[in-house]
Chains A and B, each alone.
Chain A
Amino acid sequence: MKQMRTSTDNFEAVKRCFDAYGGDITHWPAEARERFGAFARSDELAAVRLEAETLDGFLGAASAPQVSVDLKNRIIAQYDAPPATMTIRGLLSDLFTPRRFIPAGAFAGIGALGLASGILSVNVGYAMTPEAEAYAYVYSDSVISLEAFDEEEEVQWDED
């Protein structure tokens, strides 16, 4: 009697799986597949299985919506990059992700070159030719003149 009830219970459980998940047993939840897989493939359930497979076939014939390239372009176009709010953690994470190693290395290299060049210029100094000295004078003179002109513009006129 107990065995008969178990068999009926199993039949009902497998039928529920066919009803919910369809005729393709590979699409069933893993637990149900393991527990009822062999029974579900048996002749006893052939009619239930066929019914479920038929509906699967109908569902497979429904429209298959295709996304247009235009839609994707519109979605990307509406992406409005937010103002950068870089946190220290974000910055570090960005710099040290594998794809960022190369630019980070390049920045570090440029920084080191700049530093080295600054130190050298202080220590070594520049030997200027007379011609270069003349150009430097004209340049500095014109800067002074422009500054003077600007100051004149700011003069307050006397009231009438």
Chain B
Amino acid sequence: MGQESDTDEALVSRAGRGDRSAAAMLVERHTDKIYACCFRILGGKHAAEDAAQETFLRLWKHAGKWKQKGAKFETWLYRIAMNICFDQLRKTRREAPEDAAPELVDGADRPDQALFLGQRRFAIDNALSQLPERQLLAITLCHFQEMTNIEAAEVMGVSVDAIESLLARGRRALREQLAPMRENLMGKMSDETNAHVN
């Protein structure tokens, strides 16, 4: 495992020739990222799972013919996932954040803290889900997936300047959406910090 010869490109080639272990390694390596990205775009677990599954189904279908033409394998895989997500969004609206109600967050020291963390998460997920698709995708790729602006630009097929603009507009929109509850969230965040310190 983890040999230098196990590049994504080599694994796709082997998977295309029927090597099941190569396919399994690709799944192990990329499912988390692809699923997380689909989850951000589609806003729900079930839709994200379907999209991730469909992404790999298309990968298996094309693995035998796949040839590297400039873009890295991962970029290509993200593009497939994004196309599936946006097709899905054209058919149906984005899912509301999970269960459309705040949940208690595991790992908090006190019940009120768990409730606060759940409410904060809900508010932020909700604000993200209100963003226009391309702004959400830019933030997802650069912030959550930790891609560089160049990698994100490749996935989205736009210029680096366009990515920068989408990120700035997206973050501004988030700030505006969260502004009404900002003081409350900030105050609670301070309480939370104090509780940990004490």
Residues of A within 8 A of B (CB): 16, 19-22, 27, 29, 51-52, 54-59, 61-63, 65, 67-68, 71-72, 74-76, 78-86, 90, 94, 97-99
Chain A residues with CB under 8 A of B24: 76, 79
Residues of B within 8 A of A (CB): 3, 5, 13, 15-20, 23-24, 27-28, 31-32, 35-36, 39-40, 45, 48-49, 52-53, 56-57, 60, 63-64, 97-98, 117, 120-121, 124-125, 128, 139, 142-144, 146, 148-150, 164-165, 167-168, 171-172, 174-175, 178, 182, 185-186, 189
Q: Are B175's CB and A75's CB within 8 A? A: no
Chain B residues with CB under 8 A of A22: 143, 171
Q: Are A99's CB and B23's CB within 8 A? A: no
Partner of A62, one of B52, B121, B148, B186: B121
Chain B residues with CB under 8 A of A55: 171, 174-175, 178
Q: Are A61's CB and B117's CB within 8 A? A: yes
Instruction: Name the distance in Å between A42's Cβ and chain B's nearest Cβ.
Output: 21
Chain B residues with CB under 8 A of A94: 17
Q: How far is the CA of A15 from the CA of B124 in the complex (A)?
A: 23
Chain B residues with CB under 8 A of A81: 18-20, 23
> A54-B186, A63-B125 known; A72 and B31 CB under 8 Å?
yes
Q: Are B164's CB and A98's CB within 8 A? A: no
The 7 closest A-B pairs by CB, nearest first: A81-B18, A65-B39, A20-B167, A19-B168, A20-B168, A79-B23, A62-B124
Q: Are B53's CB and A78's CB within 8 A? A: yes
Partner of B28, one of A57, A63, A72, A85: A72
Q: Are A75's CB and B56's CB within 8 A? A: yes
Partner of B121, one of A21, A61, A79, A82: A61
Q: How far is the CA of A79 from the CA of B48 in the complex (A)?
A: 19
> A62-B124, A67-B32, A98-B3 known; A75 and B17 CB under 8 Å?
no
> In chain A, what residue has the closest Cβ to B143?
A59
Q: Are A63's CB and B60's CB within 8 A? A: no
Q: Are A90's CB and B128's CB within 8 A? A: no
Q: How far is the CA of A153 from the CA of B167 in the complex (A)?
A: 82
Chain A residues with CB under 8 A of B31: 67, 71-72, 75
